[in-house]
Amino acid sequence: MFRLGLLAGVTAVGAPVLSSCGGGGTSTGAGQSGGAGKPLATLKVGAPHQVTDSEPGNPLTSSIGATLLVLRHVYDSLMVLDNGEYRYQLAESVEPNADATAWTIRLREGVTFHDGKPLKAADVVHSLRTVGSKPSNRASVYGVVDLANMSAVDDRTVKVPLLVPRGDFKESVLVVFSPVFPDGLAQFAKPIGSGPYKMVGRNGTTTTLVANEQYWGGKPTVGELQVVGILDAAARLSALKAGQVDYAISVSATGAKTEAGSADIEIRRGGAANSNALSFAMNQQLAPFDNPKVRKAVRLAVDRQALVDNALLGLGSPADDVVGKTLPGYADLPARGRDLDQARRLFAEAGVTKLTLRTGEIVPGMLNASKLLAQQLAEAGVELTLQESAPDAYYADLTTLTKHPFQAFYYVNRPASVHLAAVTNAKAPFNVTGPPAGYQTRLAAAQAMADDKAREQAFRALQKEFYDEGGDVVWGFQEQLDAARKGIGGVRVVQSVQLFDQATGPA
């Protein structure tokens, strides 16, 4: 439900394939359906939302289901992660100086915003300064960028100086979040981008977008896209079955199993490249998880296969505490086995008999997984109390996320180096495991390496450290499960967001 980051692909993290990618890209995934179809006048999409959602298309606040979906259709980014490749979108090239302390971005020609103005370097400078500064919830992504000294060299060239060397600037900054909007735009009630759709209004939780027929990436095949915010996974599936929406984003494993034989509905499975990494996150800065014995005991007490089989109904795969499995740059870490005897001994040595887990149905199946975790910890001699929070409020206050010792959490499965850089650095809002100062030093050193191969090796070592001592119990990869009415095709997944600009209906 709550998409925290970007999706990964299948090229090497240390040496990503960089190629031009328009709105008519070729990535496939959850939602892709084979066969030729016909353009659609209107397509209605049911997507997760929170009660706090108030301004779709605001790049300073958009970070979840429906609002993120709107953002990705209204704006283009400088770079994206598409079908396993780091691709240029509005950028034509992104090149470092010798020590990776400054980067030069060259822009694509022929791009215009929805108001008809051409894309220029000044727009990029303004956009990056805006999303890189508070109150933007992505400001931490730009913590290494010298925002004040960015400059437009000419209409198509942007110079981006950094505060420290960063060899991973492209994948850990631009790919993570780099939407572009016109210079001077500061209010986003009526967002203006260069993307395939223009926002024309919102009625309740429904946001209406219309096709940008002059889109540089090709005219969209859907004339009007309605994004309907629906909080509950079961309600989204019910809306699809009732004909209220044509496509339901993120349905539960139970719903997918139930509708598997339907004559009217197709279940779309995302596979490993389109999945959530599900975790029980332990904050190393807070007791009792500041004791490495407790963290190890929890990891050893968990039966991962049982969690996948029961909470995900088998529509997923076990994980081994590090995000990025099956994706480029993964350190090929050993499968984590269960050892109840050792877990009991470690809990006893640490004097831990009770724990509390903050949890909720933040993704379908998470609450059931938490209940099963309580049973598994009980077998290791620990009583687990579940502190349940409503899904629509779970992430409402990002400032409190790092104050919970133990909480259910999830990330998008993406290359480990991108994940560690974006989530485990000390300033990241989703740094819920609190790695210590020594780890932060090693992370910063890895990011600074300009040599791709050396940086990849350094990140493999960080993964091993996280595997041995970190605070994430990443127990399973949950495939993205969507549902659509029969015949809806051409839906792509880019940066873990479904794109509908090339969607088609039954022929």
- Sequence spans of domains, the chain: 276-479
Give the separation between CA 238 and CA 419, rounded to whole angstroms.
34
Q: Are 201 and 178 in contact (CB under 8 A)?
A: no
Spatial neighbors of 175 by CB under 8 A, at least 6 apart, are 6, 79, 80, 81, 86, 418, 495
Residues, the chain: 507
Q: Are 364 and 250 in contact (CB under 8 A)?
A: yes
DSSP 384-427: EEEEE--GGGTTS-GGGGGG-SEEEEEEE---HHHHHHHHSSTT
> Is the pTM above the cut of 0.85?
no
Return the C-alpha torsion angle 295, 300, 306, 311, nearest 10: 0
Give CA separation, 39 vs 43, 68, 308, 353, in Å.
10, 24, 38, 60
Q: What is the pLDDT along the chain (507 residues), one digit of tens a residue?
A: 333 333 222 222 222 334 333 433 333 334 444 446 899 999 999 998 865 556 788 999 876 789 899 999 999 999 997 765 789 999 999 999 999 999 999 999 999 999 999 999 999 999 999 999 999 988 988 999 999 999 999 999 999 999 999 999 998 899 989 999 999 999 998 899 999 999 999 988 999 999 999 999 999 999 999 999 998 889 999 999 999 999 999 998 999 999 988 999 999 988 777 788 999 999 999 999 999 999 999 999 999 999 999 999 999 999 999 998 888 789 989 999 999 999 999 999 999 999 999 999 988 889 999 999 999 999 999 999 999 999 878 988 888 899 999 999 999 888 898 899 889 988 888 999 999 999 999 999 999 998 889 999 999 999 999 999 999 999 999 988 999 999 999 999 876 789 999 999 997
CA 460 to chain centre: 21
- pLDDT at residue 3 in the model: 32
Give the separation between CA 373 and CA 246, rounded to whole angstroms.
36
Give the separation between CA 26 and CA 494, rounded to whole angstroms.
9
Whole-angstrom Cα Rg for the chain: 22
- pLDDT at residue 381 in the model: 98
Give CA separation, 360 vs 280, 357, 387, in Å.
12, 10, 8
Residue with tokens 């805006």: 130
Give the separation between CA 337 and CA 321, rounded to whole angstroms.
11
- pLDDT at residue 52 in the model: 58
DSSP 66-106: HHHHHHHHH--BSEEEETTEEEESSEEEEEE-TTSSEEEEE
- pLDDT at residue 63 in the model: 67
- pLDDT at residue 53 in the model: 58
Give the separation between CA 476 and CA 253, rounded to whole angstroms.
14
Give the separation between CA 188 and CA 179, rounded to whole angstroms.
13
CA nearest to 19, candidates 170, 196, 158, 197: 170
Is 398 exposed, middle or buried (CB count within 10 Å of its CB: 0-12, 13-18, 19+)?
exposed
Give the separation between CA 111 and CA 156, rounded to whole angstroms.
11
- pLDDT at residue 81 in the model: 79
Give the separation between CA 394 and CA 358, rounded to whole angstroms.
9
CATH superfamily of 276-479: Dipeptide-binding Protein; Domain 3 (3.10.105.10)
